[in-house]
A and B are shown apart, each in its own frame.
Chain A
């Protein structure tokens, strides 16, 4: 493994081509690492040095509840996104390329529309007097409007819709790499379609599921607009709480502490996933 590639053109043990990564590293260092360190410092110095912000954070039932709720919402959104995205990704993987690129285009297109616009559109659809409830009541299917907004259902619907492309894209890559002959072989050996899915397709697609799932989960953790507009106060997520703490209450120390804890937990989850699935396979899906 340590053969030609590392010897050729490497400087001080760095792989070839490291130099061209410098601008990106600089960017990340300046605009990510530095602010994160500043955040950490603020959380232990504002308004005075010490751990009082962290004590306040974990001592407050509100923050703990909002933390738990944030992880609950992110988990539900990730699970539903995987379920919805899998069939689409599979369809894309086995479609003729010409047709596939059209469907692909439609999926990507949704990402080009403003997030706020899309979320407001969901409000119009989901509210009690909205299109969905009116149609269902008009058809006599329901007599009372369904509570589709200002609760977990609303947040889940709105966020799954936004997260779908981030799940579909890595999944298609993984599924395309699977040799269709393996499924045919399974069928020839007498496996039912479900058995073939469960024992062949699903295990082989796991790296893609894991990569997409992690991306969706992490993005969901920090989401602001959609939960704020489609959720109720009992589903308040951390980003909204932090914004309120910083902007309105001007308690920057507490806000920084909350943001830092979220960051640490997210990174820990990422590390655990790397352990379970392996960095190579996780990355390999994309």
Chain B
């Protein structure tokens, strides 16, 4: 009797586990849709400024694509007439977990392509796995210059610029607007992003403005939240320019604490990721702060019907204007759509991965030269007065430095 009871128990447990293991592969059966994996931060400090705005924009765009309501030239339903369905995965948890979950997305959930990854560490870890699994993967945000620069991949694409362009762009902007800069300082988070950003900026400054001296380099911990000591160190040195690649909550804390301490009073502060906070901090963003948006995104985006449509729909759906992470994921989705539709299959049928990749590569190399010019000249602007929000419409026009009406000024 006891043996039977025991065996029954065991068989039950094994059945449940077997059921769990088999269930998802049954759901991943062919249903004629394009299954797209979306990986972005849904929890943790990067979810608020980056992950969730990106996810929202992806949802909005995919719904519009499936309904065939995007403006031309993206008016075809879904991707090449095929409806898109999404599998959303949280990017939190580190590179090891992301490699596991990437494999699960491709091999268990059987997605046709993956769009995602904000963290550079995740991108570095996922790229070789995507190559091994021959899974078409588009990185939309991570900024490390170590993915395609240190290795070469067939199945992996990145649709946004690297962080080096942000920081060289910032240095060039300073050369154009304040050529008499005598000194500069940096406050960056002590991890790969902050270290790389500062090194790129410093190297660019030393070439473009060789007379400018480095006054101090501050590296507080990621997520520190309190910057009193670092701000004191900077204010004592009194540099003309302060560079910071802070993002999200850290960047907002730096703006609030720096404003109280007079950081922004007599000098220009460059916030290379300042764009995500410009609507949330519309009242507090100090006059004269120079902000970047990681490329031609957000208020730096070109004025065209697609952008007008996107801003209107996003504002209506989420009650705030879209910031750069939202733009970047839309760019990745549209890049994939564009390559797939150029691959030459009849509408309603998905071209095979190799054909999409060939078109994707082709388009990427043709646009690369333009990209660098765009990215290094455009994505930096200066705020002139607060509040900023009502002046977004004017961001398209050029303002002179002496203009008092212009809120955002772009280097002509």
* A, B co-complexed: no
